[in-house]
Amino acid sequence: MSDKIQFTNGKLCVPDDPIIPFIEGDGIGKDITEPSQRVINAAVTAAYGNEKKIEWKEVLAGKKAFEQTGTYLPDETLQAFEEYLVGIKGPLETPVGEGIRSLNVALRQTLDLFVCLRPIRWFKGVPSPIRYPELVDMHIFRENTEDIYAGIEFMTGTEKAIKFRDFLINEFGVDKIRFPESSSFGVKPVSKDGSERLIRAALKYAIERSLPSVTLVHKGNIMKFTEGAFKNWGYDLAENEFPHQTYTWKKYQQTLKNEGEEQAKSELEKAKKMGRVIVKDCITDAFLQESLLHPFDHSVIATLNLNGDYISDQLAAMVGGIGISPGANINYNSGYAIFEATHGTAPNIAGTGKANPGSLILSGAMLLEYLGWYEAAEHVYDAMEHTFSRRKVTSDLFSMMEGATLLSTSQFADEIIRNMH
């Protein structure tokens, strides 16, 4: 008998045979979903024999849903994610047209999945543009519900844009709009509550895993009351809620100012020796350079929505690209989580057998970790590394690897399963 995952007293209770809803996805979603599930099933069997098993339950979204039900995101699908708590999805095409929201955004907002988690690690054998990819081990916590992504925008010339502009000028005395007659406007809400819950999740993640640091990435030098406030709230939260598990760069600066360099350095070294998580910050543009030149200086990264979007793709490119970059959208307070391939529907290669299922497979491994099935997740990681180091890859990586063997989507999954035994 399959069972439901429950969330009680802040913890997931996972039965041995949980029902996991999945969305196949559009485009290459059809190509990568079945092979990915085969890999995940094999890893669970390799780790636990017949003791544990995932019961996959398909739910509809995207084109497939529209064809069968006349709507892109049926209520039943949202209800299934609410009922079963943890799910996984392939990529979904954003339907073109006024008034149609991105399905991904709709799912994230409905379940209030405030963390977008993207682990960035390198697998031996994967081509990388950086010199020491083996030293890359980063975990991006991107805020998922606020910022410019809130979708509050007014197109120039519309009644709302004119009203908004006049309000700014007449009520607030704003005189910095360079071309008031032809400006569109966007609003960037960033709240203390929203920032704190994201940063709290990042700090807990780092503390639980004994990771060395959390970097708050922001553009607070320009946007002082949104991104600058994000940084300040982050430092305050670390000092107030995790005083014994963290040491902040803000504290270091204070000691430096009041007691001198020697004392500040000694405090920092002591905190590191005690295994405290070092909380620091970095301006976004500097971070994009820093993370390329010194990736090993950063571990967990907590950042706002738009920054997180840019950073995720750059860091993914450092370790093999979006074809093998996994992701998850999580609400740590309710337990809801949707794991997902981070790439899009890749219509140019859909149905050709060229798609790399790696992103969805690794998202599945993240799901296994979220369930506490770490042994099964390790089987996926090990087998994937074996496969890459033997230069057996799909077409996205094939052209970048000398002496590689080209595999189709399905063959690549088979090879991973073979390497599990």
Residues contributing to the site for ligand NAD (CB under 6 A):
28, 91-94, 104, 322-323, 340, 343-346, 348-349, 355-356, 359, 396
Minimum CB separation of residue 344 from ligand NAD in Å reads: 2
Minimum CB separation of residue 137 from ligand NAD in Å reads: 22
Kindly tell me which of 121 and 218 has the beta carbon lying closer to ligand NAD: 121
Beta strands of 239-376 (E only): which ranges? 246-248, 277-283, 300-303, 326-330, 337-341
For 354-390, b where at least 16 C-beta lie within 10 A, e where not — what string?
bbbbbbbbbbbbbbbbbbebeebbbbbbbbbbbbbee
Give the burial class of 272: count Cβ atoms within 10 A of its Cβ; 0-12 exposed, 13-18 middle, 19 or more buried: middle
Bridge partners for 18 per DSSP: 3
Kindly tell me which of 93 and 378 has the beta carbon lying closer to ligand NAD: 93
Residue tagged active-site, from 26, 31, 72, 149 = 149
Task: Using alpha carbons, select from 221, 241, 341 the residue that is nearest to residue 281.
Answer: 221
DSSP 23: E
Q: What number of other Cβ atoms are within 10 A of residue 173's Cβ?
A: 7
Residue tagged active-site, from 16, 309, 313, 414 = 309
C-alpha Rg value of the chain to the nearest Å: 23
Q: Using CB atoms, what's the residue nearest to ligand NAD?
A: 344
Kindly tell me which of 195 and 356 has the beta carbon lying closer to ligand NAD: 356
Minimum CB separation of residue 33 from ligand NAD in Å reads: 12
Kindly tell me which of 5 and 92 has the beta carbon lying closer to ligand NAD: 92
Kindly tell me which of 94 and 191 has the beta carbon lying closer to ligand NAD: 94
Catalytic residue status for 219 = yes
Site of tokens 């032809």: 182
Cα atoms in the Cβ-side hemisphere of radius 13 Å centred on 40: 28
Kindly tell me which of 16 and 414 has the beta carbon lying closer to ligand NAD: 414
Catalytic residue status for 332 = no
How far, in Å, CA of 364 to CA of 24, rounded?
Answer: 13
Catalytic residue status for 374 = no
Minimum CB separation of residue 223 from ligand NAD in Å reads: 25
Residue tagged active-site, from 52, 63, 89, 219 = 219
Minimum CB separation of residue 359 from ligand NAD in Å reads: 6
Residues in Cβ contact with 21 at an 8 Å cutoff, skipping those fewer than 6 apart: 57, 58, 59, 77, 80, 81, 84, 87, 88
How far, in Å, CA of 247 to CA of 75, rounded?
Answer: 45
Minimum CB separation of residue 324 from ligand NAD in Å reads: 8
Catalytic amino acids? 149, 219, 285, 309
